[in-house]
Amino acid sequence: MSLKSKVPGLKSPPAKRAAKVSQRQVRRPLASRLQPSDSDLPFVLVNMAMTADGKIATGNRAVASFGSARDHEQLLELRATADAVMAGARTVDTAKINLGPGGAKFRRRRRQRGLVESNVRVLVSGGGSIDPAAEVFQHRFSPIIILTTQRTPATKLRQLRALADEVKICGATEINFRAALRWLRARWGIARLICEGGGELNAALFRAGLVDELHLTVCPKVFGGRTAPTIAEGIGRLQLANAASLKMTSVRRRAGEIFLVFEVIRIAV
C-alpha cells in the first residue's frame, strides 16, 4: 500500500491533492542556520560517495551503493536539512531508491527545523526516458516533480504527468537549470536543494554555476574502469581557468571513510 493513502487528508486523486497540500507546506521558512539562499535560487548542495579512484559506480552501473552505514546516515542527516532532493533519470531507475527522508528520527529533525516531514522529490529527465516502474514512483509520501524538455514525446509526457505531481518543461532540447531552479523556489518554496547525482546531472549544475556546496564521501574501494562514472560527467571543462573552484570547509575521518565538504567559490564577473 502506498504511504500516501495512510496520510490523513490525502485521498484520491493523490497526485493532485499532494501537490496542493505540500506546496503550501514547503513554503514555511527554513531555519537561518541552514544557509538558505536569499536569492531567487535555492542553495544547492551536491552529495555523493565515490571510491578512492573517484568512481560513483562500476563501469556496468551494477554497483552504485558502496558506502558504509555511517555514510547512509550522513545522507539522511543532510536530507533532513533540505526542502527537496533531486536526482537524474539513470540514478532513479538503476537503483531501488525513494529519495525520501528516512526513519522517524530524521522526520522529527525536519519538523524541529520547521520543515515538512518529507522532502519534495525532483527528478530530471530531459528526454523523458525515466522508467515509469522506478521505485521512486511506488512511494507517495511527498510530491514528485519531473523536470524535462520539449524533446519528451507527447505520449511519454502524458505517462509522466500521471505519475508525478507536476511535470515542468524547462527548455526546448536542454534543461535551463537556472530557470528551473528559480521556478522550484518560486512555485514550490524550495530554498535548499540537495542533488544526489548522478554524474551527468551534477555536471550540468556545476557547468551552470548553480552548485553552492559539495559533500563528498571517499570510500576505501577502487573500481577502475574507463566507463565507470565520476561525480561530474557531461562534456566537462577543457581549461583549468574554467574549472569549478572549491574551498574545503570540513574534513572528518570516520571508520575508514573520509567525509569532505567543499564550498564552491563564486567568481565575481
Residues at the contact surface with ligand NAP, assessed by CB under 6 A: 48-49, 56-57, 61, 64, 88-91, 94-95, 124-130, 174-175, 196-201, 204, 229, 233
Indicate the residue among 189 and 198 with the shorter CB distance to ligand NAP: 198
User: Which helix (H) or strand (E) segment is 76 a member of?
Assistant: helix 69-79
Minimum Å gap between C-beta 91 and ligand NAP is 3
Indicate the residue among 81 and 91 with the shorter CB distance to ligand NAP: 91
Indicate the residue among 151 and 187 with the shorter CB distance to ligand NAP: 151
Indicate the residue among 34 and 219 with the shorter CB distance to ligand NAP: 219
Query: Residue 6 is placed in which grid cell?
Result: 495512510
Contact between 30 and 192 under an 8 Å Cβ cutoff? The reply is yes
Indicate the residue among 143 and 197 with the shorter CB distance to ligand NAP: 197
Minimum Å gap between C-beta 208 and ligand NAP is 9
HSE, CB side, 13 Å, CA atoms: give it for residue 44. Answer: 28
Cell 555523493, located at residue: 48
Minimum Å gap between C-beta 35 and ligand NAP is 22
Indicate the residue among 48 and 164 with the shorter CB distance to ligand NAP: 48
Minimum Å gap between C-beta 247 and ligand NAP is 22
CA of 217: how far to CAs of 1, 43, 158, in Å? 34, 20, 38
Contact between 91 and 56 under an 8 Å Cβ cutoff? The reply is no
Contacts of 83 (CB under 8 A, 6+ apart): 26, 30, 42, 115, 119, 120, 188, 189, 190, 191, 192, 193
Residue nearest to ligand NAP (CB): 198
Phi then psi for residue 22, to 5 deg, are -75, -30
Minimum Å gap between C-beta 229 and ligand NAP is 5
Minimum Å gap between C-beta 28 and ligand NAP is 28
